[in-house]
């Protein structure tokens, strides 16, 4: 793989979103090996001078397991209760792993109003800026315990794009359990090819996402395309890649053709 993504060579502020499948096993238990490596990888990236914000899924699944539930809750109050339990577990684990590399983490729980309330938006931005200035790693999740509609943002894909625009990131990396955006559903069409680069999210790209049967967490390819659309409209580059590969983020920052790059709009 050559060094072909020159747009990524000058990024400094990065938002990384990890899906439930990246940090937890299918039974809801923490994937300790993957989570520990994630902390080591992000700490090393910070050592290299990058600013890092982590958006982490997994609270509801982990909480459901800790509550000895047979399956992930489907009703809102059940999800909220599981999130309240699981968020504590997640943050304890993140703090433990990041402290091994001399980095402190901070928890930020975001509600939908951060998009629409200008005072809340500015306060959130000030908090992020202060944490990053002090080399602290913000770990973000939706405030599921007080959400009254649905778990609104959609498996944190949309949330990660909102956070990326809020902190004026240069790059948003969506780490999930899929290699990227394909020309067609690879499970149904063996001739489908991985799209390495998407210059513009048009009707064709959106139709590929709608036709995909891939289900990731509570979202899917549609939520990832929506996230990419939000971020690229603000000039932020987005990479969708498989988070099961330990070197994925390092290779992305090296400019290698891993996953799908959605190019941020130059006129943003």
Q: Which residues are annotated as a binding site?
A: 17, 57, 144, 156, 176-177, 218-224
Which of helix, strand or coil describes residue 93?
helix
- Relative to beta strand 171-176, strand 137-142 is unpaired
Per DSSP, the residues of 182-238 read BSS-TTT-TT--B-SEES---HHHHHHHHH-----TT--HHHHHHHHHHHHTTT-EE
Q: Taking Cα atoms as reference points, which of 118, 192, 149, 161 lies closest to residue 17?
A: 161
Binding site for substrate: residue ranges?
57, 144, 156
Question: Would you call 163 helix, strand, or coil by DSSP?
Answer: helix
Contact 151, 112 (CB under 8 A): no
Helices (H) and strands (E) in the chain, counts: 10, 8
State which H helix or E strand residue 43 sits in: helix 32-47
Instruction: Specify the DSSP class assigned to residue 149.
Output: S
Edge-to-edge strand ranges of the sheet holding 51-56: 105-110, 137-142, 51-56, 13-18, 171-176, 237-242, 260-262, 197-198
Binding-site annotation: residue ranges for ATP: 17, 176-177, 218-224
Cβ neighbors of 258 (< 8 A, separation 6 or more) are: 1, 239, 241, 245, 248, 251, 252
Q: How many CB atoms lie within 10 A of CB 119?
A: 8
């Amino acid at each position: 793989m050559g060094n072909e993504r020159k747009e990524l060579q000058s990024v400094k502020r990065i938002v990384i979103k990890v899906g439930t499948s990246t940090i937890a096993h299918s039974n809801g238990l923490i994937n300790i090996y993957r989570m520990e490596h994630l902390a080591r990888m992000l700490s090393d990236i910070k050592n290299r001078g990058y600013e890092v914000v982590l958006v982490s899924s997994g609270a509801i699944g982990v909480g459901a397991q800790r509550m000895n539930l047979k399956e992930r809750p489907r009703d809102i109050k059940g999800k909220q209760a599981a999130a309240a339990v699981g968020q504590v577990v997640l943050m304890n684990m993140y703090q433990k792993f990041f402290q091994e590399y001399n980095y402190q983490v901070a928890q930020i729980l975001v509600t939908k109003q951060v998009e629409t309330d200008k005072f809340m938006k500015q306060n959130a931005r000030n908090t992020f800026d202060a944490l990053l200035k002090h080399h602290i790693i913000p770990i973000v999740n939706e405030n599921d315990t007080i959400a009254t509609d649905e778990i609104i943002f959609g498996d944190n894909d949309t949330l990660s794009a909102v956070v990326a625009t809020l902190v004026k990131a240069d790059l948003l990396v969506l780490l999930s359990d899929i290699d990227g955006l394909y020309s067609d559903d690879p499970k149904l069409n063996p001739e489908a090819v991985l799209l390495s680069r998407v210059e513009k999210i048009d009707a064709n790209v959106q139709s590929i996402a709608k036709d995909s049967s891939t289900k990731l967490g509570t979202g899917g390819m549609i939520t990832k395309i929506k996230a990419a659309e939000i971020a690229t409209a603000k000039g932020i580059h987005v990479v969708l890649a498989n988070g099961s590969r330990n070197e994925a983020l390092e290779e992305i920052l090296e400019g290698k053709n891993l996953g799908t790059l959605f190019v941020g709009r130059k006129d943003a």
